[in-house]
Amino acid sequence: MLTQAAATMAAYTLSTASPFIAPSLGVDNEDIAQLVAIVYFMGAFSALTTPPFIRQYGGIAISIAICAATAVMLSIAATAVSIWMLAMGAVALGLLYGATAPSSSFVLAQLAPPNRRNLVFSIRQIGVPLGGILGGILAPPLILIGGWRMAFEAQLVFVLLLIFALYQIRHRYDAKDPPSVRLFSVASIVRLFGLLRELPEMRPLAIASVVYSGAQLCFGAFLVTQVVRVFGHEAYGFASAVALVTFQLSGVGARIGLAIVADAWVSARTLLALQGVVMAAAAVVAAHYDADWPRWLVLVNCAVAGATASGYTGLAFAEFSRIGGVQRTAEATGLGAASMFFGVALMTPLFRLGIDVFDGYRLPYLAVAALTFASAVLLIVIRGNRS
C-alpha cells in the first residue's frame, strides 16, 4: 500500500504543483499537469511486461525497483530546469508504475485467506487515493515553505526509507531459488492476452476495468474545472479543497466497506456490476450540474462517484486474482492493471475532446454513463463459477 501511495503521490504532485512549476520553467500550467498522462501511458506497458520479472525476482524485489524508479523521478523533478527533464522523470516513473498492482498481488495472493481476499486486496488498493490525497494535502504547504522543489525532495526522503524497509522483509516473501523464466519475450505478452481467450469470465471484467478507470479519471481530473465553469471562479476553493477530497475519501471508505460485504455476503462480481449502475447514475447527474443547484447536492454526487468510480479497484484486482488462480496472479493482475491504465489513456483525452466539440460536459458525461451501464450489464450476463 505504501509503495503504491508513494508512486501515486509522486505522479500527482506534478498536477498539484503545476501552478508553481510552470512559471519557473516558462510553460503553461496544463503542460505540467498533462505529464501525469505519460506516467499512465508508460504504466500500461509496464503492467504487461513486468510479470516475468515478478516471477523471477519476487514481488518485494520489484516493489523495491518501483520505489527506485520513483526516487529517480523525484530526483529529476527536484533538479529540473526544463519541461523535458520533467517529462523524462515521468517516463522513469511510468516504466515501473504499472508493476505496483501485479507485484504486490503476487505476494498477497499467497498470503490472503480466501474468505478475506477482497478485504486484503482493497486495503492494498487504498494506496492510489491515499497517494492522491497526500499529494493534494502535503505538497502545497511544502511549496509555501521551501518552493516547489521541496515538494519532491521531501518525498524522496520517504521513498528511500521505504526502500530500506522493503529490503528488510524481502527474504520473508521472495523465493530464494525461483525457476528461471525468459524476461523479455513477446510471447509472454501474447500469453497474457491469451488469458482473455482461455478464461471467458475475465473478458467482461477487463472491459469493465477499461471503462470504470476511464470514468474515474473523467470524474476526478475534470471535477474542479467543471465546478468552476458552472458555479464561477469563486467556487474554486470548494471544488479543490472540498469536492475533490470528498471524491477521494469516499473511494477509500468504499474500498473497505465493499470488500467486507464481498467477503461475507455478496460476490465481488455482483458488487462490481452494481457499482457500474450507480456510477452511470452519478455521471447522468454530473451531466446536469447547474448554477442553481445547492452545492451540497454536488458534494453528494462527488461522494457517490468516488465510492463507485474510485472504489471499485480493490474488488476488481481480487477478481482478476481469483479467476487467474494463485499460479497466474501476476499475469492476471498485470492484465487488469494494463486494462485500467489503457482506460485512462483512452477515455480521458476523448472526454476532453468531447467537452470542446459539444461545448460542455453534458454529452461527454452521458456517454460515460452509457459505457459504464453497458459494462455492468456484461458483468452480469457473462459469469463464471465463484470460488
- Convert the pLDDT of each residue in 86-112 to its tens digit: 999 999 999 999 888 888 888 888 888
- What pLDDT does 153 receive? 94
Q: Which position has the grid cell 531459488?
A: 177
For the chain, give the mean pLDDT: 86
pLDDT at 385: 46
- pLDDT over threshold 90, residue 221: no
Return the number of other C-beta atoms located less than 10 Å from residue 29's C-beta: 14
Q: Helical H runs in 80-198?
A: 83-97, 100-111, 117-125, 127-146, 148-173, 186-198
Contact 155, 149 (CB under 8 A): no
Query: Environment class of residue 81 by beta-carbon count within 10 Å: exposed (0-12), middle (13-18) or buried (19+)?
Result: exposed
CB 227 within 8 A of CB 373: no
Instruction: Find out whether 252 and 123 touch, Cβ atoms under 8 Å.
Output: no
- Please give the average per-residue pLDDT across 248-267, as a whole number: 87
Contact 370, 277 (CB under 8 A): no
- Whether the pLDDT of residue 371 is over 50: the answer is yes
pLDDT (tens digit per residue) in 320-365? 988 988 778 878 888 888 899 889 888 888 888 888 889 889 999 9
| Phi, psi angles (nearest 5°) of residue 83 | -65, -25
CB 43 within 8 A of CB 66: no
Identity at 137, one-letter amino acid code? I
Confidence (pLDDT) at 387: 41
169-210, pLDDT tens digit by residue?
A: 998 888 777 666 666 666 667 777 788 888 888 999 999 999
pLDDT at 157 over 90: yes
CB 329 within 8 A of CB 105: yes
Backbone angles phi, psi at 80, to 5 degrees: -65, 140
Indicate the range of 5-14, 226-235, 271-280, 366-375 predicted with least confidence. Answer: 226-235
Which residue type does 180 have? S
Neighbours of 232 (CB within 10 A): 10
Written as one letter, the residue type at 244 is L
pLDDT digits (tens, 9 = 90+) for 133-145: 777 678 778 888 9
Phi first, then psi: give them for residue 59, nearest 5 degrees: -65, -35
| pLDDT given for residue 325 in this prediction | 85
| Domains located in the chain, CATH noted | 1-173 (1.20.1250.20), 195-381 (1.20.1250.20)
CB atoms within 10 A of CB 215: 31
Say how far residue 362 (Cα) sits from the centre of its chain: 25
Name the burial class of residue 346, with classes exposed (0-12), middle (13-18) and buried (19+) by CB atoms within 10 angstroms of its CB: middle
pLDDT band at 255 (very low <50, low <70, confident <90, very high): confident
Neighbours of 146 (CB within 10 A): 12
Determine the average pLDDT of the residues in 9-17.
Answer: 81
Residue 211 makes CB contacts below 8 A (sequence gap 6+) with 276, 343, 347, 371, 372, 374, 375
Quickly state the pLDDT bin for 154 (edges 50, 70, 90): very high
